């Protein structure tokens, strides 16, 4: 490499004047090391065996999953399957989790997961659950942080592109789901050109039960068919409100990059959800037809059930005064972020050169004055100057998202100028800036969208990595970059690849989660209908063409491990119970010719793999998770006879013929 | 002050009741895969551990080298030992009532004899588990025994085994000390 460069050097010197943008003439700020903080390595070094200080939950974007990293080390701890099937863990392949991916469209094995959001109590992250939205087939998932598994997925009815979601209220009363696409409401066959008349945008409030976390679609607010981009709920003084950004207030359906970028100002929609609760109580809602799935996983039966719902309560702003106000905000605002006090609402106008900040207090005063600029479908539009708190002038290009450090500073990402800019809340002055490699989208400070930020680290998530890592063909990884923000200046410490495309992320002090993390499932609490609580309970039961194998696993054998009497055309359900009661002793199960995946069974759990043998023969099965010194011996055989054969059903373990 | 020996004897008798609350002994196995150790607890009437799965985990580890599974139902001591302790508590209260040196001494001697018998019995069980190995063990190491230490620390293959009294055992020892002090004080007051 060096030789090549030195050979090229004379040419570069000659050409430098003309070819400023070639690699030899890179501007200093784009040098590969970047503004690396001094002593960065030791500050992200978490010695082998030591724990990280924070968990980071980083969305997997189009992978559909949620990744868990340790901060500051950037070590990947787990990928939690959420909206996409995961053959590694059997998620969506075993019988128990298939219902989790059920929707009104049937089984959907993929989604685009964007915004993780931790549950909060009194505006502070509490480490109980992490929510995340599915964008394409509108859904919201709840991940249980005691198991790090997806516990619930609810579909959002009459919505299209669930992007402004899930963004919790400060006691996790609700998570929200605003539609990115206007769609006919309810869905029907109409001309796309009739967008302005026929299309609507629904903002959905999903209630979260305080003890169980169970989600229900509580109500929807039906608004004009703008594109509802992002959201954040109020906190402190603004608790009771949610703010949604909009673009395409032009109401166009084609060539949006031009047509939806014409209005000088779009809106932030402010929803008074406490008022909405009153209207619901008073019965001022309409019941609309809907079709959506509510899927819940139950740790006691180790399985999920899917329920279809057919109605939704809808509030129409014209019939519910005081429910919705529009705050004019320049140029297609993307993120909307509320500072820890709840006073300031930052509209990140992505096509604007400035950053607009609204005041909650001024918004309340403007509402009291009733001096509205205009009204759209019964929704008052407040006057821009009446609600404006301040403007961060020319901080960068393409502002997207803002987080807070709890010390009066805000940090905003700029996609186009590829940087994070630090500014002071209240004086709106820019105090620092740090480059990102490259094209940063979201950023995350642990607790940075809550009332109590932990302002030590900032993670910026980049869409483009180009030359940052060893090349891997045309498709390159996306990345996250860790900055130390404890001082006056942001310092880049670390740069690490992510799974899928990271959108938003959440961070939380590890201490809030570590002690809640479960080690095993107590076997005596296993209520799976096909469990075998010990080797004495194992059996093989034939019901017509369906065969249920009640099998156990413990280091280092299956019981039974020899099965005969299976026939071509049978549907064989292997119900595996892991009898282990020790931490980190899962066993896996795979059988030759299975056209789904392996299953991975945690201690005390039961999981089921469906196997449909197509040919006669004797087929091996084995444990896929290296469980013990005799893991390789953890194997068995199942004999398959012809469809009409009368091979008797029998099974055994060692010399014990069990039947 | 005059009642002090009697009070001590009373406390000595009661201290044995701790055996109904806490284990009398613990055996902890440390290995690379068990950084926190597998800690088995021996109560007077059951076997347990720091987690409900401890005994199963010990049995899983032991079966590789052909040790037989530890089944609480097959250990008769776990059935009757609690009655021995109750009888000792009762006799201790009788000694308190008698309030004589010979009674205190007699109870103390009984305690010491039973403790020695108990430890010997424990040794026999350990010897049996450690030496009585299955012919079909997956892992056979010629000449090796897997007997845990009676008390103290011992390296067994990849494990470090630690065997020590638990709270119940310490209270049993406290009972002995209290009874001994009670006897000694009664002797002293007599002479004085
Ligand atoms: Cu295994």
Say if strands A587-591 and A599-601 run parallel, antiparallel, or are unpaired: antiparallel
Instruction: Give the per-residue pLDDT at A25.
Output: 42
Instruction: Give the per-residue pLDDT at B141.
Output: 85
Does A477 reach chain B within 8 Å, measured CB to CB?
no
Helix, strand or coil for residue A12? helix
Q: How far apart are CA A535 and CA A553, in angstroms?
A: 9
Structure tokens at A408: 């009066």
Length of chain A as a residue count = 659
Structural domain spans, chain B: 4-191
- Picking from A520, A629, A633, the nearest residue to B53 by CB comes out as A520
Instruction: Give the per-residue pLDDT at B191.
Output: 53
Give the pLDDT mean for B77-100: 94
Distant-in-sequence, close-in-space partners of A489: CB < 8 Å, separation ≥ 6: A432
* SS3 assignment for A449-503: CCCCCCCCEEEEEECCCCCCCCCCCCCCCCEEEEEECCCCCCEEEEEEECCCCCC
CB contact under 8 A, B52 and A522: yes
Interface probe for A, chosen from B48, B50, B53 (most Cβ of A below 10 Å), is B53
Instruction: Give the per-residue pLDDT at A34.
Output: 55
Distant-in-sequence, close-in-space partners of B15: CB < 8 Å, separation ≥ 6: B171, B172, B174, B175, B178
Q: How far apart are CA A55 and CA B143, in angstroms?
A: 49
Ligand 1: distance of its center to the CA of A618 in Å? 21
Instruction: Give the per-residue pLDDT at A659.
Output: 66
Bridge partners (DSSP) of residue B48 are B41
CB contacts, 8 Å: B66 with chain A: none
Q: What is the pLDDT of residues A330-355, one digit of tens each?
A: 989 999 999 999 999 999 988 888 99
CA distances to A257, A330, A352, A554 from A262, rounded to whole Å, are: 9, 11, 12, 65
DSSP per position, A26-81: --GGG-TT-SBPTTHHHHH---TTPPPSEEEEEE-BTT--EEEEEETTTEEEEEE-
Instruction: Give the per-residue pLDDT at B187.
Output: 80
Residue A416 is classified by DSSP as T
Instruction: Give the per-residue pLDDT at A8.
Output: 42
- Picking from A579, A581, A630, the nearest residue to B51 by CB comes out as A581
The rounded percent of chain A whose pLDDT value lies above 70 is 94
Interface probe for B, chosen from A48, A581, A603 (most Cβ of B below 10 Å), is A581
Contact A443, A483 (CB under 8 A): no
Say if strands A333-338 and A344-349 run parallel, antiparallel, or are unpaired: antiparallel
Peptide bond between residue A54 and the one before it cis (omega within 30 degrees of 0): no
**ipTM of predicted complex:** 0.87
Q: What is the pLDDT of residues A10-24, one digit of tens each?
A: 443 333 333 333 334
Whole-structure pTM value: 0.92
Inform me whether the pLDDT recorded for B107 exceeds 80: yes
Ligand 1: distance of its center to the CA of A586 in Å? 7
Distant-in-sequence, close-in-space partners of A657: CB < 8 Å, separation ≥ 6: A650
Q: Which residue of A has its CA nearest to B61?
A: A555
Identify the CA nearest to A403 among candidates A338, A306, A320. Answer: A338
A–B interface: beta-carbon pairs under 8 A? 29
Bridge partners (DSSP) of residue A242 are A233, A271
Bridge partners (DSSP) of residue A635 are A622
Instruction: Give the per-residue pLDDT at A35.
Output: 56
Instruction: Give the per-residue pLDDT at A46.
Output: 97
- Picking from A554, A603, A630, the nearest residue to B138 by CB comes out as A630
Ligand 1: distance of its center to the CA of B41 in Å? 27
Q: What are the phi and psi torsion angles at A137 (to 5°)?
A: -105, 100
Identify the CA nearest to A109 among candidates A132, A134, A131, A130. Answer: A134
Say if strands A355-359 and A388-392 run parallel, antiparallel, or are unpaired: antiparallel
Set out the domains of chain A in order of their start, with CATH numbers.
Answer: 54-100+107-117+130-250+268-516 (2.130.10.10), 523-657 (2.60.40.420)
CB contact under 8 A, A630 and B51: no
Q: What is the pLDDT of residues B118-147, one digit of tens each?
A: 999 999 999 999 998 988 888 888 888 889
**Beta strand extents in chain B (DSSP E only):** 25-31, 34-42, 47-49, 152-156, 159-165
Tell me which of A24 and B10 has the higher pLDDT: B10
Does A520 reach chain B within 8 Å, measured CB to CB?
yes
Least confident of A274-278, A299-303, B103-107, B155-159: B155-159
CB contacts, 8 Å: B51 with chain A: 519-520, 581
Q: Sign of dihedral through CA atoms A496, A502, A506, A511? A: negative
Kindly report the number of other CB atoms within 10 A of residue A477's CB atom.
16
Reported as a pLDDT band with limits 50, 70 and 90, residue B157 is: confident
CB contacts, 8 Å: A520 with chain B: 51, 53
Does A48 reach chain B within 8 Å, measured CB to CB?
no
CB contacts, 8 Å: A555 with chain B: 60
Q: What is the dihedral of CA A88, A91, A95, A100, to 10 degrees?
A: -170
Residues of chain A falling short of pLDDT 70 = 1-37, 658-659
Identify the CA nearest to B10 among candidates B94, B77, B129. Answer: B94
- Smallest CA–CA distance, residue B53 to chain A, in Å, is 5
Interface probe for B, chosen from A556, A582, A626, A630 (most Cβ of B below 10 Å), is A582
Contact B178, B15 (CB under 8 A): yes
Alpha helices in A288-330 (DSSP H): none
Instruction: Give the per-residue pLDDT at B151.
Output: 93
- Smallest CA–CA distance, residue B57 to chain A, in Å, is 7
Structure tokens at A131: 């929510």
State the number of CA atoms in the 13 A half-sphere of A471 facing the CB: 4
Kindly report the number of other CB atoms within 10 A of residue A137's CB atom.
21
Token pair 């893991």 is found at A631
Kindly report the number of other CB atoms within 10 A of residue A414's CB atom.
23
Q: Which residue of A has its CA nearest to B138?
A: A630
Ligand 1: distance of its center to the CA of A149 in Å? 21
Q: How far apart are CA A59 and CA A80, in angstroms?
A: 10
Structure tokens at A524: 């005596």
Q: What are the phi and psi torsion angles at A20 (to 5°)?
A: -60, -35
**Beta strand extents in A165-285 (DSSP E only):** 174-179, 183-184, 199-208, 215-224, 227-233, 241-247, 265-272
């Amino acid at each position: 490499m060096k030789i090549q460069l030195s050979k090229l050097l004379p040419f570069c010197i000659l050409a430098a004047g003309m070819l400023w943008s070639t690699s030899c003439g890179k501007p200093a700020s784009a040098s590969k090391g970047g503004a690396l903080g001094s002593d960065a390595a030791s500050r992200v070094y978490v010695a082998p065996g030591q724990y990280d200080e924070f968990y980071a939950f980083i969305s997997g974007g189009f992978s559909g999953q949620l990744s868990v990293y340790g901060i500051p080390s950037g070590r990947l701890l787990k990928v939690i399957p959420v909206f996409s099937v995961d053959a590694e863990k059997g998620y969506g392949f075993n019988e128990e989790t298939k219902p989790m991916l059920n929707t009104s469209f049937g089984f959907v094995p993929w989604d685009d997961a964007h915004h993780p959001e931790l549950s909060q109590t009194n505006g502070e992250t509490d480490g109980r659950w992490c929510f995340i939205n599915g964008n394409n087939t509108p859904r919201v998932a709840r991940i249980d942080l005691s198991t790090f598994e997806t516990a619930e997925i609810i579909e959002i009815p009459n919505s299209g592109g669930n992007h402004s979601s899930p963004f919790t209220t400060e006691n996790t009363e609700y998570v929200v789901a605003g539609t990115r696409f206007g769609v006919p409401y309810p869905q029907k066959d109409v001309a796309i050109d009739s967008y302005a008349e026929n299309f609507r945008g629904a903002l959905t409030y999903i209630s979260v039960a305080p003890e169980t976390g169970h989600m229900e679609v509580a109500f929807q607010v039906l608004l004009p068919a703008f594109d509802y981009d992002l959201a954040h709920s109020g906190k402190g003084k603004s608790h009771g409100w949610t703010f949604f950004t909009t673009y395409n207030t032009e109401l166009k359906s084609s060539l949006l990059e031009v047509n939806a970028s014409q209005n000088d100002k779009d809106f932030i929609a402010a929803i008074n959800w406490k008022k909405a609760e009153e209207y619901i109580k008073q019965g001022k809602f309409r019941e609309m037809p809907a079709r959506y799935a509510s899927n819940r996983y139950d740790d006691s039966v180790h399985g999920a059930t899917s329920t279809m719902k057919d109605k939704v309560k809808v509030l129409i702003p014209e019939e519910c005064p005081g429910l919705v106000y529009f705050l004019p905000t320049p140029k297609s605002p993307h993120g909307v972020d509320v500072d820890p006090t709840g006073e300031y609402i930052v509209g990140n106008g992505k096509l604007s050169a400035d950053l607009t900040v609204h005041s909650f207090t001024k918004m309340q005063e403007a509402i009291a004055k009733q001096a509205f600029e205009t009204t759209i479908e019964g929704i008052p539009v407040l006057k821009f100057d009446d609600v404006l708190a301040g403007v961060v002038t020319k901080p960068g290009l393409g502002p997207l998202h803002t987080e807070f450090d709890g010390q009066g500073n805000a940090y905003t990402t700029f996609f186009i100028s590829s940087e994070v800019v630090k500014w002071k809340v209240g004086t709106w002055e820019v105090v620092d800036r740090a480059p990102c490699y490259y094209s940063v989208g979201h950023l995350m400070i642990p607790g940075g969208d809550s009332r109590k930020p932990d302002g030590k680290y900032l993670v910026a998530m980049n869409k483009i990595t180009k030359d940052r890592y060893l090349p891997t063909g045309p498709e390159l990884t996306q990345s996250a970059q860790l900055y130390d923000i404890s001082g006056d200046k942001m310092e880049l410490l670390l740069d690490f690849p992510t799974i899928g495309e990271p959108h938003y992320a959440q961070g939380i002090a590890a201490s809030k989660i570590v002690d809640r993390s479960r080690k095993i499932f107590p076997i005596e609490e296993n209520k799976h209908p096909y469990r075998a609580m010990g080797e004495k309970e194992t059996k093989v039961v034939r019901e017509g063409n369906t065969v249920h194998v009640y099998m156990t696993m413990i280091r280092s054998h299956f019981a039974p491990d020899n099965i005969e009497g299976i026939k071509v055309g049978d549907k064989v359900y292997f119900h595996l119970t892991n009898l282990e009661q020790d931490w980190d002793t899962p066993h896996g199960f795979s059988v030759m010719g299975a056209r789904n995946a392996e299953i991975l069974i945690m201690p005390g759990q039961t999981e089921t793999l469906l196997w449909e043998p197509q040919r006669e023969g004797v087929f091996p099965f084995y444990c896929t998770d290296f469980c013990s010194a005799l893991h390789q011996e953890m194997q068995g055989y199942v004999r398959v006879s012809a469809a009409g054969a009368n091979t008797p059903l029998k099974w055994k373990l060692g010399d014990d013929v069990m039947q | 002050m005059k009642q002090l020996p009697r009070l001590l004897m009373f406390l000595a008798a009661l201290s044995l009741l701790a055996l109904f609350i806490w284990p009398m002994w613990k055996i902890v196995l440390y290995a690379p895969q068990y950084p926190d150790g597998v800690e088995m607890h021996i109560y007077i009437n059951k076997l347990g551990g720091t987690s409900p799965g401890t005994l199963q985990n010990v049995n899983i580890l032991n079966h590789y080298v052909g040790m037989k599974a530890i089944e609480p139902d097959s250990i008769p001591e776990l059935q009757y030992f609690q009655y021995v302790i109750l009888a000792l508590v009762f006799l201790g209260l009788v000694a308190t009532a008698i309030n004589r040196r010979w009674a205190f001494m007699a109870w103390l001697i009984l305690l010491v004899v039973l403790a020695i018998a108990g430890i010997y019995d424990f040794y026999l069980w350990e010897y049996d588990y450690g030496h009585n190995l299955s012919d079909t063990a997956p892992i056979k190491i010629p000449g090796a025994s897997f007997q845990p230490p009676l008390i103290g620390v011992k390296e067994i293959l990849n494990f470090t085994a630690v065997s020590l009294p638990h709270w119940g055992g310490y209270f049993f020892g406290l009972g002995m000390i209290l009874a001994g002090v009670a006897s000694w004080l009664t002797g002293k007051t007599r002479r004085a």
